Chains A and B, each alone.
Chain A
Amino acid sequence: MKKETYEKLDLDVYTETLDNGLRIFLTKVPRNEIHARITSLYGGSILEFKLKGEKEFTKVPAGIAHFLEHKMFEKKDYDPLQIYENNGAFANAFTTENITSYYFTGVDKFYDNLNNLLRCVSEPYFTDENVEKEKGIISQEKKEDLDNVYYIVKDKAYENTFHNLDVKYTVLGSLDDINSIKKEDLYKVYNTFYQPSNMVLTISGDIDINKTMEFIRDFYNKKDLKEKIEIIIKKQNEPDEVVKEKEIIYKNNKTKEIFINYKIRKNDVIKDKYTSRVYLNMYLAMNFSGLSELSDITTKDKNFLSGISGHMFEIDDFYILSFNATVKDDAQSAIELIDKTLKSKDFEESRFNLIKKVNLSSIILSTENPSEICSMLTNQIKIYGRLITDMHSKLLNLNFKDFKTFISELNLKNRSIVILESKKGD
């Protein structure tokens, strides 16, 4: 076990990698609650893969990572959620494009809860019957998204942005995908991606570090685990261009919902991955946050029923800058405003420094509660493969000139627009 310390954040992280490859990160913080999270570094955007030594790639239906997340709570002779509830703990799980996480937050009976968490992800139990039962439940979860105007435009925009990357499919999959999933698919995905070497365990709260680490070691020492096998993800060649530049979806709606993806191939102007991501987020903040002129424009323009929200997403060799807005009737002028604002690179250094200050404040706050700490540690391992313990000094050293150079190299030509509106006459 070794200790890594986050500079200026009063945060020590105790880490260890077990023989089976599981990476463990423990932090002691003064809270009554303990949050523990185990994460498979596998999410909804990987559908073709094989283990080293296998001849053929396996292709699985979209939505399988999320389906598997549901089914991991089903056991032959016990109910993990019942155990948590009996202990007064709250537990859940979630799946994103990149990861699947299982977690609990509890005050009492920590080791019982931790044992339950580790068992939950180590003991798959899939039958034809329990897989069939879950289809009705997940279909209802999907139907909620099908009625949500934000998800309708977002999901369509991703479908229209990517030719080959599996991120074009939603994390939940389509209703047809959900209904096509079989227990054999689930076991295949489980046996590939839930190897401890593809998982990360983070725990934060009022814990005894040594005792906790010992408990985890003991748990896995008792398991008959197969050797670590390398996972090979099928490389998909993705062109720079989007599939479809514009699409209008019709739904009986009172307002218009807009979603735009700018598809940008990564450049190597900034070598440090953490810094380049920060610069991209600062780029969005410079032009689209409350510190930009845009906040007054959208507040005063009666056409805008929401502000314009911008997000950065990274997948494969691409950055995706996504924008969403709800407007009363004029979608075109909103799209033009987003485009013009994004392409405005006449940055002020004073605003750059203000946003730097905001970023410094936000990382101080990111260590305020156990679940946020676990989330930060897990994300850093997934994205960077290591803890960014020097993030405070990286933020302090951000440089306006480097920022401008990095941003000036971004190619903003490829974009996909989706608009949801009522058919005329509806």
Chain B
Amino acid sequence: MKYTKYDLGSYNLYTVVTDRFKTISLSINIRLQNEKEHDKYMPMLWRMLINTSSHYNSLKEINEAAVSIYDPYYSIRFVGSGLQDTLCLSASFINEKYTERGMNEKSIKFLSDFIFKPKINNEMFDEEMFEIQKAKLIDYYISVKDYPREYAESRIHEEMNFFGYKEYSLDEIIEITKKLTNKELYNFYKKLINEGKLDIFICGNFDPEEIRKIVKKNIEFNGNNEQKPKHIIEQNTYNKKPRVIIETSDNVQSILIIGSKAINMTSFERKYVSLLYSWILGGSTNSLLNQRVREKNSLCYYIYTNRKNLIGDFKIYAGINGEDFDKVYSLIKDELNNVKKGNFTDSLLDSVKHTYYHTLKSIEDYQNDMINSTISEVLVDTDDIKTRRKMMEKVTKEDIMNFAKKVHIDTVYLLKGDRK
């Protein structure tokens, strides 16, 4: 899969041409180096950008405008990627080949204006919408407790200090958001626009030169294109004796999350070995944890692993009965040790490799995957697809065993359901 890079001065455009889709996908990313304070602004900022417009007076008008250009799909999110905090607009619209000439430009302008031409008066966002969104965001934070998996995730993340500072607790972020002013939010937006690094990715069946002209004409940006952003955070410490935190909740099921840190990963381990390690443990129905905890002991419906390789974060998630906690935790530790000792079959290693090869081949079947793959090659130093396949073939059982020894349980969190 090839992409073409265009240096447009203050930002870069990357085009990926494919004739396999009727749609065009667009991703606009503005990045800043991670700071604790960003958590205060980003959730408010994307809400303001997507709910207001300098061209239209209401959401109904915005939506009508969207439908008039064949109803593009779009979302704005705040994404943390290692040490980078990114404001990301993701969109997909029907290629004008299937609608009418001129729709590609209209769609790109309509979508990019959410980010670059927000509704601003007197150096502030729309006052009424600011107050409404602030109130709703505070209520959202308060309501996280109503969603056990989301709450448990926020609690363990808060406890594990991946970024070298203590993240805001839910109570803290509620108080901070209450005090946030419109002016402060606007200043943060200005910082993002003036100091951030912008990269735009577009994938579809088009003439790249024509797209370059459309983007150049419609997107003005004054940020910093010279940055070489750093993504990786090395984890150096962990709780030698894992901290076990148990809270109770008005739920039937208990949510168990086991948080581990990977120490001193090599680049090869970070990119390749860690993924296979994660999948062998809990990435499929035949994974060690699924077989042992679910199939052999009937203790859960779901148990799986998730890894964030840029920050060395490895977690295991399971929904269990609270009274089974000791047994489940013991089985999980047993399986973690089994990986260290190499007590897993070659066929399991082969099957997770095959799954990986499948995901590589299927990237070209999904425009979003093509965009995301390009983003990670450009922004996160991921290897190209051919290299990824070659490198993954090299991973051995010993690599997995050695890597397993670098993964240490740091925090165990149980949200214990006490509702009958």
Are A and B genuine complex partners? yes
Complex: chain A residue closest to B19, CB-CB: A30
Contact, CB under 8 Å: A133 / B298: yes
Q: Would you list the 3 A-B pairs with minimal beta carbon distance, nearest first? A: A136-B298, A88-B354, A290-B63
Q: In the complex the two chains form, what is the Cα distance from A143 to B299 in whole Å?
A: 12
Contact, CB under 8 Å: B251 / A147: yes
> Which residues in window 93-146 of B have CB below 8 A to A?
94, 98, 128-129, 132, 135-136, 139-140, 142-143, 145-146
Contact, CB under 8 Å: A88 / B139: no
Complex: chain A residue closest to B303, CB-CB: A140
Check B250 for interface membership: any CB of A closer than 8 A.
yes
Contact, CB under 8 Å: A86 / B347: yes
Contact, CB under 8 Å: B252 / A32: no
Q: In the complex the two chains form, what is the Cα distance from A106 to B358 in whole Å?
A: 7
Smallest CB–CB gap between A174 and chain B, Å? 12
Q: In the complex the two chains form, what is the Cα distance from A251 to B68 in whole Å?
A: 44
Check A153 for interface membership: any CB of B closer than 8 A.
no
Contact, CB under 8 Å: A299 / B132: yes
Contact, CB under 8 Å: A302 / B143: no
Q: Given A254-B143, A255-B146, A369-B365, does the pair A85, B299 have CB atoms closer than 8 Å?
A: no
Check B355 for interface membership: any CB of A closer than 8 A.
yes
- Provide the residues of chain B in CB contact with A108, threshold 8 Å: 354, 357-358, 361
Contact, CB under 8 Å: B94 / A361: yes
- Give A residues with C-beta under 8 Å from B: 30-33, 79, 81-82, 85-90, 105-108, 133-138, 140-141, 143-144, 146-147, 149, 251-255, 289-293, 295-296, 299-300, 302, 304-305, 326, 328, 354-355, 357-358, 361-362, 364-365, 368-370
> Which residues in window 14-34 of B have CB below 8 A to A?
20-23
Smallest CB–CB gap between B268 and chain A, Å? 22
Contact, CB under 8 Å: A33 / B354: no
Q: Given A31-B365, A88-B351, A368-B21, does the pair A137, B294 have CB atoms closer than 8 Å?
A: yes
- Provide the residues of chain A in CB contact with B79, threshold 8 Å: none
Check B246 for interface membership: any CB of A closer than 8 A.
no
Smallest CB–CB gap between A303 and chain B, Å? 9
Interface-centre pick from B60, B352, B356, B417 (highest chain A CB count, 10 A)? B60
Q: Given A33-B362, A300-B128, does the pair A85, B301 have CB atoms closer than 8 Å?
A: no
Contacts A291-B63, A299-B132 known; 12 new A-B pairs at CB < 8 A: A81-B284, A88-B354, A105-B362, A137-B294, A144-B319, A254-B143, A255-B139, A290-B60, A328-B139, A358-B71, A365-B94, A368-B22
Contact, CB under 8 Å: A32 / B365: yes
Q: In the complex the two chains form, what is the Cα distance from A52 to B313 in whole Å?
A: 58
Contact, CB under 8 Å: A295 / B253: no
Check B412 for interface membership: any CB of A closer than 8 A.
no
Contact, CB under 8 Å: A290 / B301: no
Q: In the complex the two chains form, what is the Cα distance from A82 to B297 in whole Å?
A: 19
Check B364 for interface membership: any CB of A closer than 8 A.
yes
Q: In the complex the two chains form, what is the Cα distance from A257 to B105 in whole Å?
A: 41
- Provide the residues of chain A in CB contact with B148, threshold 8 Å: 147
Contact, CB under 8 Å: A85 / B284: yes
Complex: chain B residue closest to A175, CB-CB: B252
Check B51 for interface membership: any CB of A closer than 8 A.
yes
Contact, CB under 8 Å: B60 / A296: yes
Q: In the complex the two chains form, what is the Cα distance from A143 to B252 in whole Å?
A: 6
Smallest CB–CB gap between A240 and chain B, Å? 34
- Provide the residues of chain A in CB contact with B20, threshold 8 Å: 30-31
Contact, CB under 8 Å: A86 / B250: no
Contact, CB under 8 Å: B146 / A149: yes
Interface size counted on chain B using CB atoms at 8 A: 65
Smallest CB–CB gap between B171 and chain A, Å? 13
- Provide the residues of chain B in CB contact with A149, threshold 8 Å: 146-147
Contact, CB under 8 Å: B417 / A365: no
- Provide the residues of chain B in CB contact with A138, threshold 8 Å: 301
Q: In the complex the two chains form, what is the Cα distance from A137 to B419 in whole Å?
A: 19
Q: In the complex the two chains form, what is the Cα distance from A361 to B69 in whole Å?
A: 10
Q: Given A290-B63, A295-B59, A302-B132, does the pair A144, B253 have CB atoms closer than 8 Å?
A: yes
Contact, CB under 8 Å: B250 / A251: yes
Q: In the complex the two chains form, what is the Cα distance from A135 to B321 in whole Å?
A: 14
- Give B residues with C-beta under 8 Å from A: 20-23, 51, 58-60, 62-64, 66-68, 70-71, 94, 98, 128-129, 132, 135-136, 139-140, 142-143, 145-148, 250-253, 284-286, 294-295, 297-302, 319-321, 347, 350-352, 354-358, 361-362, 364-366, 417, 419
- Provide the residues of chain A in CB contact with B320, threshold 8 Å: 140
Q: In the complex the two chains form, what is the Cα distance from A89 to B355 in whole Å?
A: 6
Contact, CB under 8 Å: A364 / B286: no
Smallest CB–CB gap between A243 and chain B, Å? 24
- Provide the residues of chain B in CB contact with A137, threshold 8 Å: 294-295, 298, 300-301
Q: In the complex the two chains form, what is the Cα distance from A86 to B132 in whole Å?
A: 52
Contact, CB under 8 Å: B361 / A107: yes
- Provide the residues of chain A in CB contact with B365, threshold 8 Å: 31-33, 369-370
- Provide the residues of chain B in CB contact with A143, threshold 8 Å: 252-253, 319, 321, 417
- Provide the residues of chain B in CB contact with A305, threshold 8 Å: 136, 139-140, 143
22 A-B contacts (beta carbon < 8 Å): A32-B364, A82-B351, A85-B351, A85-B354, A86-B350, A90-B358, A107-B358, A135-B298, A136-B297, A136-B298, A136-B299, A141-B301, A147-B253, A149-B146, A254-B145, A255-B143, A295-B59, A299-B51, A299-B132, A300-B128, A305-B136, A368-B21
Complex: chain A residue closest to B148, CB-CB: A147
Q: In the complex the two chains form, what is the Cα distance from A89 to B60 in whole Å?
A: 43
- Provide the residues of chain A in CB contact with B60, threshold 8 Å: 290-293, 295-296
- Provide the residues of chain B in CB contact with A368, threshold 8 Å: 21-23
Q: In the complex the two chains form, what is the Cα distance from A406 to B281 in whole Å?
A: 55
Contact, CB under 8 Å: A87 / B354: yes
Contact, CB under 8 Å: B250 / A32: no
Complex: chain A residue closest to B283, CB-CB: A85
- Provide the residues of chain A in CB contact with B298, threshold 8 Å: 133-137
Interface-centre pick from A108, A296, A328 (highest chain B CB count, 10 A)? A296
Interface-centre pick from B71, B135, B284 (highest chain A CB count, 10 A)? B71
Complex: chain B residue closest to A147, CB-CB: B251
Q: In the complex the two chains form, what is the Cα distance from A252 to B299 in whole Å?
A: 26
Q: In the complex the two chains form, what is the Cα distance from A108 to B360 in whole Å?
A: 12
Which of B59, B284, B299 is A296 in contact with, Cβ under 8 Å?
A: B59
Which of A32, A79, A140, A252 is B253 in contact with, Cβ under 8 Å?
A: A140
Contact, CB under 8 Å: A357 / B71: yes
Q: In the complex the two chains form, what is the Cα distance from A89 to B20 in whole Å?
A: 22
Q: In the complex the two chains form, what is the Cα distance from A85 to B284 in whole Å?
A: 8
- Provide the residues of chain A in CB contact with B361, threshold 8 Å: 32-33, 107-108
Contact, CB under 8 Å: B67 / A147: no
Q: Given A140-B300, A147-B252, A255-B146, does the pair A300, B132 have CB atoms closer than 8 Å?
A: yes
Interface-centre pick from A136, A143, A368 (highest chain B CB count, 10 A)? A143
Contact, CB under 8 Å: A296 / B67: no
Complex: chain B residue closest to A134, CB-CB: B298
Contact, CB under 8 Å: A88 / B285: no
Q: In the complex the two chains form, what is the Cα distance from A90 to B362 in whole Å?
A: 11
Contact, CB under 8 Å: B146 / A254: yes
- Provide the residues of chain A in CB contact with B295, threshold 8 Å: 133, 137
Contact, CB under 8 Å: B354 / A354: no
Complex: chain A residue closest to B363, CB-CB: A32
Contact, CB under 8 Å: B71 / A361: yes
- Provide the residues of chain A in CB contact with B362, threshold 8 Å: 32-33, 105, 107
